Structure 1
Amino acid sequence: MNSSALSHALLSISLAFAAVLLTNSGEAAEPTSEPQPLRVMSYNIRYGTARDGDDAWVHRQEPMVKYLKESKVDILGLQEALAFQISDLLEGLPEFKRSGVARDDGKDKGEFSPLLYRHERFELVREGTFWLSATHEVVGSKGWDAMLPRVCSWTELKDKSTGKRFIAASTHFDHMGQEARAESGKLIARRLKELAADLPVVLVGDFNARLASDPIQNVLAKPDSASDWRLVDAQGVSAKKPTGPTATFNGFKAIPEGDNKIDFIFVRDFVVLDHVVENPLTPAGRFVSDHLPVIANIEFPKESVEK
């Protein structure tokens, strides 16, 4: 073989090898890691302008940041959070980003039910907020007999290490309107089914209602008879025995006896590994909020198909 032919042959081999490398590098770019559990929390943090004396936000901010950092959650759904409280938390928790808007103006006026997520682990795919009313796309709308506007903020997240996607949502039902709570349950089930389709879902919130009540049962019911789509209570399907108090509202006074749980985590197409209600305290021995945080470790089912 002369030198020209040899050079041509070597060039052809080099180009073919480069093509293989490009193909393989393209495949390697796809996430292939085994899914890791997601640690999810629901926490009503008590609105920060309340005149709560020794339990005012100024006394609770630092203990709450410390608790949340130590809890090592991946996704945090808050309720009653005002804009300045979210800023305070994110300043102390820079590993998180926020999704969600305020209920009064769809921007920053009034309370949020936001989601905070670890931005190094998750990529934001899409997000939104709807109002708990018959006109759920109307910003600031009040539903049925509700005293205040209420929202559900949701986000579609993608786990960067696996490529798996899911919907996370946070909400806070009205504390006065009985009809509003019942109708809000139906609306949330219907809207999350529309938004998620076949994606797994985790919904957290302060529902101002107990598990056996109509509002919660409406959340857990099938949105339509033609589908098997439905949410389940994470505590009820936990692989390990749930731990912690059976009530979640303390009113800055005491944890009541009996089953008085109004803060929940609901899931669809997730395996619930464990479920706990915790009771964080300030250095002064006071409650960090007038609600207790609810935490669940969840994971994608083994047969779950990557979206």
Structure 2
Amino acid sequence: MALRRFISIPLIASLAFGALAAPAAISPTPAMAKAKAKPKPKPKPSSPALRVASYNILCSTCGGPSWSSRRTAVASTIKNQKPDVVGIQEASQGKLPGKQVSQYSELLSTLGSPYRAANSNGYNCERVTTPSKCVYKDQGASQGTRIIYNSSTVTLLAQGSRKLTSASGAGDRYVAWARFQQRSSGKKFLFVNAHLEHRKSDYYYELRKTQTRQVLDTLKQHRDSLPVVMVGDWNSDKWAKPSNAPSDLILGAGFVDPLGHVYRSKAIGKNATVEKRIRTNYWSVNHLKREAQHYPEGTNGVNIDQIYVSPMRVSEFEVVVKLDKKGRFVGTIPSDHNMLRATVHLP
């Protein structure tokens, strides 16, 4: 009680007033400002990755190292990249020497499950296993131009082929097509694989233009408004004269070169869409030379093989080469072409 006598009335009023007074304003710290900021909208999720590839495996009768010495390396290259769909060129359908199987069927058996052929018929004859005494029947066969798919990730819906105009006395050229459904997303797409005439002259330049138009016409017939992945050995590149006709026609039809090649230049064009590049400065052909041909990093290599797409996200593109630190191929060189592999996302 004695203590209360020493507390003055003004002091009591002052304490009471202070208890009721509003707190002083506090300047917001950067941390507080950040906490009050509205969260940015999350980017629209992309569809699941779809891995696609193009690979000219060098036909078993085209010279160079034997198919038996390269078969395992070719199959390993494909399996290591885990494509959902791959377009194969030069997979011969004729029987291998001393065997009752073709290069194409032996590649399939070496790959094993879950890889399957979109079409396993050898010939467009009533008897699909031999061209002998052939009575023509469209069996969807496409000689060495084939489509292989991973049956655990995509479902085959339809498939077929078209014979392209070919030079007199030359081997037949085909475009193969297949419609698939991606299991993870349920989305459907069209996959097209072609192999154009390789010889060089004004006549063959015009022939490649004709063949490309036929590829685009076939695609149009079977597209049904689906997104498209178009691969192949186009036997033309950015240094071709008088122009890179197949690419010009394909781009003119509204398709995209994810790498953004520029005619007669090593530069990467502003129209490039791929997000991540892996050795895309390397060429798609290697001529079986131990030292891999390439341009400096930050440029585009020379691609007679190419992967084109309808407008869609392309998150990655790789020229598949297994090299040592000096840029030389390690082990068996699988083919005279390097595999191209892209990761796309269906719209």
Give the TM-score, by structure 1 length. 0.73
Question: What do the CA deviations read for 1:129-183 (whole angstroms, capped 9, x no partner)?
Answer: 01122xxxxxxxx3x6783311110000012332211000111101122221111
- Correspondence 1:1-40 to 2 at 5 A: 35-40=47-52
Match of 1:86 in 2: 104
Match of 1:98 in 2: 117
Structure 1 SS opposite 2:190:
strand
- Correspondence 1:133-144 to 2 at 5 A: 133=165, 142=166
Conserved in 1, the CA contact under 8 Å of 2:256 and 2:311? no
Match of 1:174 in 2: 197
- RMSD of the TM alignment (CA)? 2.7
Match of 2:279 in 1: 243
Conserved in 2, the CA contact under 8 Å of 1:96 and 1:119? yes
Q: Partner letter of residue 213 of structure 1?
A: N
User: Percent sequence identity over matched residues?
Assistant: 27
Shift of 1:219: 2.1
Return the alpha-carbon distance in structure 1 between the equivalents of residues 66 and 187 of structure 2: 40
Larger radius of gyration: 2
- Match 2:151 to one of 119, 126, 130: 119
Q: Partner letter of residue 257 of structure 2?
A: D
The 1:147–1:220 alpha-carbon spacing in structure 2 relative to 1, beyond 3 Å, is farther
- Match 1:221 to one of 230, 252, 258: 252
Shift of 1:69: 1.6
Structure 1 position 132 matched with structure 2 position 164: yes
The 1:146–1:249 alpha-carbon spacing in structure 2 relative to 1, beyond 3 Å, is farther
Conserved in 2, the CA contact under 8 Å of 1:234 and 1:296? no
Q: Partner letter of residue 191 of structure 1?
A: T
- Match 1:295 to one of 338, 341, 345: 341
Structure 1 SS opposite 2:247:
helix
Gaps of 5+ in 2: 1-45, 94-101, 132-141, 261-272, 296-300
Match of 2:54 in 1: 42
Conserved in 2, the CA contact under 8 Å of 1:101 and 1:112? no
Match of 1:205 in 2: 232
Return the alpha-carbon distance in structure 2 between the equivalents of residues 102 and 218 of structure 1: 31
Return the alpha-carbon distance in structure 1 between the equivalents of residues 193 and 169 of structure 2: 18
The 1:283–1:264 alpha-carbon spacing in structure 2 relative to 1, beyond 3 Å, is closer
Conserved in 2, the CA contact under 8 Å of 1:208 and 1:263? yes
- Match 1:152 to one of 156, 175, 189: 175
The number of residue pairs the alignment matches comes to 251
Deviates more, 1:234-243 or 1:194-203: 234-243
Q: Partner letter of residue 171 of structure 1?
A: A
Shift of 1:105: 4.0
Deviates more, 1:95-104 or 1:64-73: 95-104
The 1:81–1:280 alpha-carbon spacing in structure 2 relative to 1, beyond 3 Å, is farther
Q: Which has the higher helix share?
A: 1
Shift of 1:103: 8.6
Question: What do the CA deviations read for 1:256-276 (whole angstroms, capped 9, x no partner)?
Answer: 455421010000132111111
Return the alpha-carbon distance in structure 1 between the equivalents of residues 223 and 52 of structure 2: 18
Return the alpha-carbon distance in structure 2 between the equivalents of residues 77 and 146 of structure 1: 26
Return the alpha-carbon distance in structure 2 between the equivalents of residues 169 and 193 of structure 1: 11
Give the TM-score, by structure 2 length. 0.66
Return the alpha-carbon distance in structure 1 between the equivalents of residues 320 and 302 of structure 2: 14
Conserved in 2, the CA contact under 8 Å of 1:45 and 1:80? yes
- Match 2:311 to one of 269, 278, 292: 269
The 1:115–1:279 alpha-carbon spacing in structure 2 relative to 1, beyond 3 Å, is same
- Match 2:78 to one of 55, 68, 81: 68
